[in-house]
């Protein structure tokens, strides 16, 4: 019912086009402070602004982090505005097919993946100490922690609500099945990361990870009839990454506890493949066991049909 419930609100295809344009506009507007800061700096070389390394060198890392995340706040505000204005839809029905948002699911996914990801990171740090530098500065880290705790969940929620929520529902109603929106949103989600510095350092193979992550998040959304697990997982993944380990060649370059010094050009095929083809399937099985998922074919590949009740008025 997660996609099918959109039949109860205004769901014309053109509304989703306008809504997406509004989100892009919101992102652009909230990017203006970064542009203004660059202009006011005075000595910036505008011909080099497409160079991520140069762009990140213009300001202190915590300020860079704010500039990086702020546009997602604009996107999320614009998206919530669009669903109310264009669709008459509530945030709850964009989030889940349940009567109300299940915060226990969000917190379970957040803490579960947070503990697992931090554990895996420390195993690697202990096993390869030469690849890591202790980078902890209490003042800089405290400021980072406040920024990250406030803005990272906004960034990840914006992506989840847009891709696994708004576009998943809109495309699903348009094509009247579930597998097409699953594949399209996963591919677009992955491809939008193509400008990340990791792609330049690791090569196109990293797109397997980005698209695979989108596919994983889409699967748990469709199987669970809601975004809660995806929201919790994504927030934990990005938050603990920003706080624990970053590198000079990643999108997040922060005052993290550790700095990764390893050469990205020698990262093995397994570092990219294992999360997508081993860790993510295991997580899906764990979630499936906990939440008693069944009818996998219908939930992932089935048709999207109008609910039986003849009630298509705008939701209150």
Partners of residue 303 on adjacent β-strands: 177
In a domain, 310, yes or no: no
Q: What is the pLDDT of residue 316?
A: 38
Per-residue pLDDT reduced to its tens digit, 291-307: 999 999 999 999 998 88
**How many Å is the maximal CA-CA distance in the chain?**
64
Query: Residue 241 falls within a domain, yes or no?
Result: yes
Look at strands 245-246 and 258-260 and give their pairing.
Answer: parallel
Choose between 115 and 268: higher pLDDT.
115
**What is the average per-residue pLDDT within 66-71?**
96
* Confidence band of 312 (pLDDT split at 50, 70, 90): very low
Does residue 312 lie in a domain region? no
Band of residue 266 on the pLDDT scale cut at 50, 70, 90: low
Domain span at residue 203?
4-301
pLDDT recorded at residue 268? 58
Is there a domain that residue 135 lies in?
yes
Task: For residue 132, give the 3-state DSSP assignment.
Answer: strand
Closest CA to 68 of 147, 2, 13: 147
Indicate whether 41 pLDDT > 60: yes
> Nearest CA to 178 among 215, 209, 233, 213?
215
Given its phi and psi angles, is residue 133 left (phi above 0), alpha (psi -120 to 50 degrees) or beta?
Answer: beta
Alpha-carbon torsion, ordered 221, 19, 6, 226, to 10 deg: 20
What is the reported pLDDT for 314?
44
208 by DSSP, 3-state: which?
Answer: helix
- 16-21 contacts at long range (C-beta below 8 A, 24 or more positions apart): 16/166, 16/167, 16/170, 16/171, 16/174, 18/82, 18/86, 19/79, 19/82, 19/83, 19/86, 19/87, 19/166, 19/170, 20/166, 20/167
Q: Specify the pTM.
A: 0.93
- Tell me if 156 sits within 8 A of 283, measured CB to CB: no
Q: What does the pLDDT read at residue 309?
A: 62
pLDDT of the residue at 205: 85
> Which SS3 state, helix, strand or coil, does residue 313 take?
coil
309 located within any domain: no
In terms of pLDDT, which residue wins out, 313 or 282?
Answer: 282
Domain count, the chain: 1
Q: Is 311 a domain residue?
A: no
Whether 269 has a pLDDT exceeding 80, the answer reads no
* CA nearest to 240, candidates 145, 124, 150, 125: 145
The rounded distance, in Å, linking the Cα atoms of 283 and 296 is 15
Rg for the chain (alpha carbons), in Å? 20
Residue 17 forms part of a structural domain: yes
- Fill in the DSSP letter of residue 292: T
pLDDT value, residue 315: 42
- pLDDT at position 238 is 97
Domain membership of residue 316 (yes or no) is no
* Over residues 208-221, mean pLDDT: 96
């Amino acid at each position: 019912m997660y996609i099918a419930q959109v039949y109860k609100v205004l769901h014309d295809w053109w509304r989703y086009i306008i809504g997406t344009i509004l989100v892009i506009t919101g992102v652009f507007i909230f990017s203006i402070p970064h542009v203004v800061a660059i202009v006011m700096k005075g000595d910036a070389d505008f011909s080099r602004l497409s160079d991520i390394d140069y762009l990140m060198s213009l300001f202190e890392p915590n300020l860079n982090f704010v500039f990086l995340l702020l546009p997602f706040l604009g996107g999320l505000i614009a998206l919530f505005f669009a669903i109310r204005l264009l669709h008459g839809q509530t945030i709850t029905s964009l989030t889940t097919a349940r009567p109300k948002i299940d915060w226990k699911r969000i917190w379970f996914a957040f803490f579960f993946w947070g503990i697992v990801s931090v554990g895996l990171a420390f195993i690697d740090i202990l096993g390869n100490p030469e690849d890591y530098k202790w980078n902890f500065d209490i003042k800089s880290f405290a400021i980072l922690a406040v920024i990250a705790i406030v803005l990272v969940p906004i960034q990840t929620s914006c992506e989840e609500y847009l891709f696994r929520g708004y576009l998943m529902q809109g495309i699903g109603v348009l094509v009247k099945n579930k597998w097409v929106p699953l594949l399209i949103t996963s591919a677009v989600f992955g491809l939008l990361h193509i400008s990340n510095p990791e792609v330049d350092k690791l090569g196109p193979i990293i797109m397997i990870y980005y698209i695979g992550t989108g596919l994983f998040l889409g699967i748990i959304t469709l199987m669970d009839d809601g975004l809660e697990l995806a929201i919790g997982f994504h927030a934990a993944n990005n938050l603990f990454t920003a706080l624990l380990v970053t590198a000079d060649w990643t999108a997040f370059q922060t005052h993290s506890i550790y700095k990764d010094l390893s050469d990205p050009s020698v990262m093995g095929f397994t570092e990219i493949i294992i999360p997508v083809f081993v860790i993510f399937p295991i997580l899906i099985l764990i979630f499936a066991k906990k939440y008693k998922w069944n009818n996998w074919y219908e939930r992932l590949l089935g048709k999207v049909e109008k609910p039986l009740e003849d009630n298509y008025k705008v939701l209150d």
